[in-house]
Amino acid sequence: MTPASRDPRFPTTHWSLVVRLKSRDGAEARRAVEEVFTTYRYPLYSYLRRSGLVHEDAEDVLQGFFEKMLRNDSLGDADRERGRLRTFLLTALSRFKLNWHRSEQRRQQRVQTESHLWDADEARWQQERYATDQSPERDFDRQWAIELITTVRQQLRQRYERRGRLAIHDALSPFIGGSAGAAHPGNPTLGEKAIELGITDNAVRMALHRLRSDFRDLLLKEVSRTLDEGGDAREELRHLIGLFEG
């Protein structure tokens, strides 16, 4: 499957995506499947690998899962009251895995994929497999958070580019998470960045404050899009941040 040609930002992850997946409009349903595939493929693949499947089996299960989505019958039980879309997708995949058989005949309707996507997923998983001993479910949440944060960073850069402040963003983005990534020996200090940008120390601190504020706003917005109406985005964000602590 080629990535959706629409907006490259984190796709429509709120529950309207489920409505689109169940749409009677075949083209619209397919676009929704492509969005799910593009965004959630690796977290779901990582879950399958960590749950014990070898690369080939994980690829087959996930391929079959997306094929079933295309047939419009994998999300029939979707319910906004279930809360988190990521929880629903993981539950749906777990059920599919239980019913999966290697001898199952290939379906005629397929999600068209390129082998390099699966190869890239496997290479990434091999690099990360020893980074954590978390359960498959917790690892899925962690990968979900990584994908979300990566996309929010892309959105933030695009926002600053539109504002004509790309130089500010690129200079200060390593400082978004506090001192992490910027306080190691050899890394530029905030004062050195001020000199690089040709602004005062006070101005660079204010610019960093705005950058962090914009990042938090975008992050909360994207988190809220993965919850049902009335969900607590701040509580969900605390949960996702907690996955990287300890």
* Exposure of 66 in the CB half-sphere (CA atoms within 13 A): 25
Q: What is the pLDDT of residue 55?
A: 84
pLDDT tens digits, 100-144: 754 444 443 445 555 555 567 666 666 666 555 667 888 888 888
pLDDT tens digits, 162-195: 999 999 999 999 999 865 445 555 678 999 999 9
Q: Which domain holds residue 104?
A: 1-131
**Are 231 and 220 within 8 A, CB to CB?**
no
Q: How many domains does the chain have?
A: 2
pLDDT band at residue 98 under the 50/70/90 scheme: confident
Burial class (CB in 10 A: 0-12, 13-18, 19+), 15: buried
Q: Which of 30-44, 140-154, 156-170: highest mean pLDDT?
A: 156-170
- Whether 82 has a pLDDT exceeding 80, the answer reads no
Q: Which of 4-13, 21-30, 112-121, 231-240: highest mean pLDDT?
A: 231-240
What global pTM score does this model have?
0.61
DSSP 9-73: SS---STHHHHHHT-S-HHHHHHHHHHHHHHHHHHHHHHHHHTT--HHHHHHHHHHHHHHHHTT-
Q: What is the pLDDT of residue 200?
A: 94
Mean pLDDT of 61-71: 82
Residue type, 146: I
Q: Are residues 120 and 5 in the same domain?
A: yes
Q: Can you read off the two tokens belonging to residue 234?
A: 């701040």
| Average pLDDT of every residue of the chain | 76
Q: Are residues 1 and 117 in the same domain?
A: yes
Given 101, 116, 131, the domain boundary residue is 131
pLDDT band at residue 37 under the 50/70/90 scheme: confident
Residue type, 215: F
Given 99, 114, 131, the domain boundary residue is 131
Q: Are residues 7 and 43 in the same domain?
A: yes
CB-based contacts of 123: which residues, under 8 Å, 6+ apart?
none
**Are 82 and 228 within 8 A, CB to CB?**
yes
